Amino acid sequence: MHIVVTGASSGIGREIAKAFDGEGRRLSLVARRLSLLEELRAEMRGETHAIRADLADPADQLAWLREAEEHFGPVDVLVNNAGVSYVEPVQGIDRERIATLFQVNVHVPIAAIHHVLPGMLARRSGVIVNIVSNAAFSPAPYFCHYAASKGALGNFSESLRMELRKTGVRVLSVYPGPVETPMGDRNWSQLEQSASSRLAPIGDAAVLAKMIVDAVESGKARIIYPRFYLLGWWFPWFGRWVAERFVPRATGAVTPPLPGDLEQRH
């Protein structure tokens, strides 16, 4: 089984790769920080291939996917996990950052799905996993572009799942609420501390990764984690009410880059 995971160098993607690891599994690990992917490879039992790719680079959006196929053959499970977020007032975010966010969060995942889908349909098997966000159905202030991008990916994912019924190809849509990762921690640090922010349930990346692997194996269509955020799925007005009243104000600082963003410039 060939599994491709984007954003495997850190956080949720790294845990997904580890959770899939096992005999008979061939994993293609994709991210900018090749050194971290190589470190991860050294820990894995199954066959792995590390691919350095900047998904924000529009020059060749899918070179990493072709490389994965050349190395391990057709993709059985595509995990669109890599993502970008900015948490700050909307007016400070320039066009270049907006383009990067939509490129990584929306255009690349959809282009990758278009690339693998004909083969999956011909084989009547395959799973597409999209790591969305609860921001897709519970938009919040200071997350405008992020929520818009995840709304786009989430709706694409849900529509595609319906369209592919009875084809043998499955789609799993994953909607994490806050999860403790470098991105998750950085997002929180962009908001002023408040009683409500301290009460918000925060998830664990390894627990989520195990749920994702179980869902791929069992054929589940959707994961919302931590479970508290199911309230926003079932009662969208409630999620919006909570976001409007309880999401703390942004500090107003420009969202600092994550380590991978800095490495890219060297």
Considering the complex, state which of residue 69 and residue 100 has its C-beta at the smaller distance from ligand NAP.
100
67 counts as binding ligand NAP under rule CB under 6 A: no
CB of 128 to ligand NAP, least distance (A): 14
Q: Which residue is nearest to ligand NAP (CB)?
A: 260
Q: Which one of residues 17, 65, 112, 131 is an interface residue with ligand NAP (CB under 6 A)?
A: 131
- The CA angle 3-100-169, to the nearest 5 degrees, is 30
* Binding string, residues 202-241; x marks residues near ligand NAP by CB under 6 A: ----------------------------------------
CB of 91 to ligand NAP, least distance (A): 22
Site for ligand NAP in 133-192 (CB under 6 A): 133, 176, 178-179, 181-184
Say if residues 39 and 30 touch (Cβ distance below 8 Å): no
Alpha carbons 205 and 176: distance in angstroms, whole number: 9
Site for ligand NAP in 240-259 (CB under 6 A): 258
Is 86 one of the catalytic residues?
Answer: no
CB of 23 to ligand NAP, least distance (A): 25
Take residue 234 and report the two structure tokens written for it.
């079932």
CB of 242 to ligand NAP, least distance (A): 16
CB of 124 to ligand NAP, least distance (A): 28
# residues near ligand NAP by CB under 6 A: 30
Take residue 162 and report the two structure tokens written for it.
């319906």
Say if residues 56 and 104 touch (Cβ distance below 8 Å): yes
Q: Which one of residues 31, 40, 65, 113 is an interface residue with ligand NAP (CB under 6 A)?
A: 31
Alpha carbons 19 and 216: distance in angstroms, whole number: 11
Site for ligand NAP in 46-65 (CB under 6 A): 53-56
Considering the complex, state which of residue 168 and residue 256 has its C-beta at the smaller distance from ligand NAP.
256
Considering the complex, state which of residue 23 and residue 139 has its C-beta at the smaller distance from ligand NAP.
139
Alpha carbons 152 and 121: distance in angstroms, whole number: 23
Site for ligand NAP in 68-107 (CB under 6 A): 81-85, 104
Considering the complex, state which of residue 64 and residue 72 has its C-beta at the smaller distance from ligand NAP.
64
Query: Which residue in the list 146, 175, 225, 229 is annotated as catalytic?
Result: 146
Main-chain phi, psi angles of 19, to 5 degrees? -70, -30
Residues catalogued as catalytic: 146
**Site residues for ligand NAP per CB under 6 A:** 7, 9-13, 31-33, 53-56, 81-85, 104, 131, 133, 176, 178-179, 181-184, 258, 260
